[in-house]
Structure 1
Amino acid sequence: MLFACSAGLYAIQSDPEVPATRQIDLAVVDEKADGTCRVRWSDPYEKKTREAQYHCDAGRDDILKAPNYSDSRSYGWESGFMFTEGPDRGDLYDFEASSEEQDFTTSDTLLLLGVLLILIGLVGGNLRALPRVLGVEARLVRRATRLAEAAVWAAEDYARAVDAVRDAGRHGSLDAAPDPELVRSLWVLREAGPQTRRAAADAQDLVNRMRPLLEEAAPAAGLRNRLQAGPTARADAEAAVTELRRLLADAERHGLRERFAQASVDLLRGQDTDRAALAAGTDFERDPDAYRRLLERLAPREAATEPEPLRRRRRRR
């Protein structure tokens, strides 16, 4: 609005009503370097030669200036406009002096106020957005997400291996004719070792703790989310980020991500059914009692002690 008012005032002040004039030749009697000069011209209305101060074009060619101009009186030459109507008829119309007399103070003031308001808006808006921008912890949220994914994979793989044992146990047994599928499923858990069971339990516990924190920390995952979140969501995100930072520090100190990855690798070794069946059969013949004890521990009546399967299934890599 201030810019529009300034432009309107400038247009009004810079376009004054100019009386009728016509162009005439001027003899430059004296001229200074800045263009200030004294000129003579013939006034056809008063029938005489007149002389007055004028603003000559200082940048015109030197051949038009004295003493280079071919004038017998050693005068220079300039072109000007003379009033042809009104009380000033016969006088010179000095464009340079008319421009200097125009007052653009109000227009310039409005323009400067408009620029000042824009600067205040830019600085104030950036200062207001600064706390939001400073709360972005995209790298930390990504690290926490990767750790949670590794924990989900480990817990899912262990739960899948336990489910395989229970499914096979409902259709077979380890009596006189051991069921090959049940033996192979038990062998996978025996090969993975008790540390895998502990890693899966830790993974399930970590997932249960990190899932709500990751949801609350969503505004801190990126600049756009941070700017779009409300004050309450930003406060919750800051608290969640603080807790995630603590969990990540504990996980790095105990090497949880490496443990989860190793547990997944150990549990996936039974994917090769033929080789696993041969190895499982040999190991079962060597120590069948260990297989029976493991099956008894994983029986449905004690299944509540095992980590529950997660709903989201892992995509095979």
Structure 2
Amino acid sequence: MRHIPFFRWVLTAGLMLFACSAGLYATGSDPELSAARQIDLAVVDEKADGTCRVQWSDPYEKKTREGPYHCDAGRSDLLKAPNFQDSRGYGWESGFMFTEGPNRGDLDDPKASSEEDFTTSDTLLLLGLLLILIGMVGGNLRALPRVLGVEARLVRRATRLAEAAGWAAEDYARAVDAVRDAERHGSLDGAPDPELVRSLWVLREAGPQAHRAAADARKLANRLHPLLGEAAPAAGLRNRLQAGPAARADAEAAVTELRRLVADAERHGLWERFAQTSVDLLRGQDADRAAIAAGTDFERAPDAYRRLLEGLTPTAAALPAPRRRRRRRY
């Protein structure tokens, strides 16, 4: 079962609100972004904070209109009544009038619109930042247990151990199969078959410890492979984050068992045993040298070869052993 990315969606929503806030701020604070032109305003009444009433000529309705406006309280006193040279005793201010859209002919009051837009954009901004904070903190806290469960190094060591065990078991099985194949085409009676002798020599040189190591390797490999499959979410950060709760629980149990098996393998020197077994079983690759060494060794201890063959091939046990000739004494 995959986890639901709740905090990821919260973070996405926060980013969207932040973008909306930035858009409102950008479009509401620049009069040049609107279809408007600058006009002269006659200030009918003005207060100290800049709140005023103004008159302007509306060319679309062809009349003089009057309405509230926010004048620049810091402009020169010469532009304010009664210092401004106006026969009506009005002050002067400049502003922008919409030339397009449903508000054509109305004043674009930057200060009033900016205060209104600031309230909306500020709300969106605060809400967006809050969601972003929740998404980031909550997502990291949720991912923390999964991140702490990554055991990539242990999984790699267990994988190498499983490979070494698998190679040792396969090399021994291949050597036994070579003996059995050679036994089908020849025997150790009369004129011994060179290929059968060479195949037996490989196992004889590896010694009985190769059989025990191969058995241990096969048993260990059979235990490691299922555990490595269950421990896959712990093999890397990406796998860990994508795994569901059940898979992570199984991975933690598998990692615990892998850690014990790897420690036991190091304590008992299994790495070295498996590697040495593989090396010993590969000595027969040089067929010419192996054939010479095998022939010499067979002449010295033929009974040992027959016993080894009887243990590997059930058909060989039924064959009568040839009589050994007595050496003549001169």
TM-score, scaled to structure 2:
0.68
2: CA distance, partners of 1:260 / 1:84? 88
1:265 to 264, 273, 279: 279
2: CA distance, partners of 1:149 / 1:8? 59
Residue 107 of structure 1: CA displacement? 2.7
2: CA distance, partners of 1:183 / 1:19? 107
2: CA distance, partners of 1:127 / 1:266? 53
Structure 2 equivalent of residue 102 of structure 1: 115
2:234 to 184, 207, 220: 220
Residue 207 of structure 1: CA displacement? 0.7
Matched, 1:46 2:87: yes
Residue type matched to 2:77 in 1? V
Helix, strand or coil for the counterpart of 1:40?
Answer: helix
Point out where structure 1 has 5 or more consecutive residues left out of the alignment. 24-34, 53-79, 86-92, 304-317
Residues 186 and 294 in structure 1, CA contact (< 8 A), matched pair in contact too: yes
Residue 275 of structure 1: CA displacement? 0.5
Structure 1 equivalent of residue 127 of structure 2: 113
Structure 1 vs Structure 2 CA RMSD: 3.4
Point out where structure 2 has 5 or more consecutive residues left out of the alignment. 1-15, 42-72, 98-106, 318-330
Matched, 1:287 2:301: yes
Structure 1 equivalent of residue 39 of structure 2: 21
Residue 269 of structure 1: CA displacement? 0.5
Deviating more after overlay: 217-226 vs 139-148: 217-226
TM-score, scaled to structure 1:
0.70
CA 1:46 to 1:150, structure 2 compared with 1: closer, same or farther past 3 Å? same
Helix, strand or coil for the counterpart of 1:21?
Answer: strand
CA 1:5 to 1:213, structure 2 compared with 1: closer, same or farther past 3 Å? closer
Identity %: 73
Matched, 1:248 2:262: yes
2: CA distance, partners of 1:268 / 1:156? 11
Aligned 1:148-163 pairs, distance under 5 A? 148-163=162-177
Residue 129 of structure 1: CA displacement? 1.4
Deviating more after overlay: 220-229 vs 189-198: 220-229
Residue 255 of structure 1: CA displacement? 1.0
Helix, strand or coil for the counterpart of 2:77?
Answer: strand
| 1:248-282 alpha-carbon deviations (Å, 9 max, x no partner) | 00000011111101100000000011100000000
Residue type matched to 2:207 in 1? G
Structure 2 equivalent of residue 186 of structure 1: 200
2: CA distance, partners of 1:81 / 1:278? 115
